[in-house]
Amino acid sequence: MCRMTGVRKAAARLGPLKRVLITGATGFIGRSLVAQLIDSRRFSIRAAVRRESREWPDSVERVVLGDLAPDSDWRMALLDLDVVVHLAGRAHVMREEAIDPLAEFRRVNVECTLNLAKQAAATASVRRFVFMSSVGVNGTATASVPFSEWDNPSPQEAYAVSKYEAETALKLLAAQTGLEVGIIRPPLVYGPDAPGNFGRLCRLVRRGLPLPFGAIHNRRSLVALGNLVDFIVTCMEHPSAANETFLVSDGDDLSTTDLVCRLAHAMGHRARLVPVPASALMAGATLLGKRELAQRLLGSLQVDISKARRVLGWVPPISVDEGMRRVTASQQV
């Protein structure tokens, strides 16, 4: 059974504020979303966490749930809510220890998600469920045409397969119950303290090491953390986001060469790039068993965000250069 901490506001005092539950609230995206909602002063925030957290003011109600499980009881956490933003899940695992990774991804990303959504749909107040999916549902690479929401899904990795299966289950639940489901598929998300490959690339650029990315002519869509958070809030509130799927990005695609140069510029120095052909880098990475990592650095993955612009009137509020500046500024503190 979950337990709640923090200051609870009486329903009569909520007024026009939207009441929102955020799962994965202490994660990379969740922390930034909570901070923005606090700053907006338009939301009553409930944060679902594994263990007690004191990183927010007491106006943020904490719901301590422990680890996600397919039979987790969300009833207390869902009391008197308008919106659920589901960010928690099992993401890319660098050192996989599960005997059956796909089964574990399904347990967390499909079964746990559907359990929460079913309980949300059964409440009298929750109207909308915003689900963080992945551009991996579309596939791992593009050629000449960017991914769009109208593509036939083609998930290649276990993580993406589980996200697609969760999307499918949520759409069926929405049709059966009337719960409004909004699905977001971001590409690589970058921002202060970004995990994974982007964080490693930042550290390499900051050290001023020569990097073999001086002749990479791919095109990749990225999304700044601030842009993604802004888009999540839009999907929480906009009437036309109900029962829709959206791709999201900065709207300014980069080559890996461009990315390194912009990072270095934001750090106040020039990139040290060696012009090694992409084919040679891919061959070397394949020999070292790093083909998947090389594909992320050397291949193209573009997304078309025209649906988000047209349906929601959404424009990325942060430029790529500003996003890079925020990354590097946080590392200098």
Apex 135 CA angle, 131 and 140, nearest 5:
150
- Closest Cα partner for 163 from 63, 261, 88? 88
Of these residues, 28, 159, 164, 314, which one is catalytic? 159
CA angle 331, 42, 193 (to 5 degrees): 15
Interatomic CA distance for residues 53 and 51, integer angstroms = 6
CB of 279 closer than 8 Å to CB of 217: no
Is 190 annotated in the active site? no
Cα 156 to the center of its chain, rounded Å? 18
The C-alpha atoms of residue 255 and residue 148 are separated, in whole angstroms, by: 20
Residues marked active site are found at 159
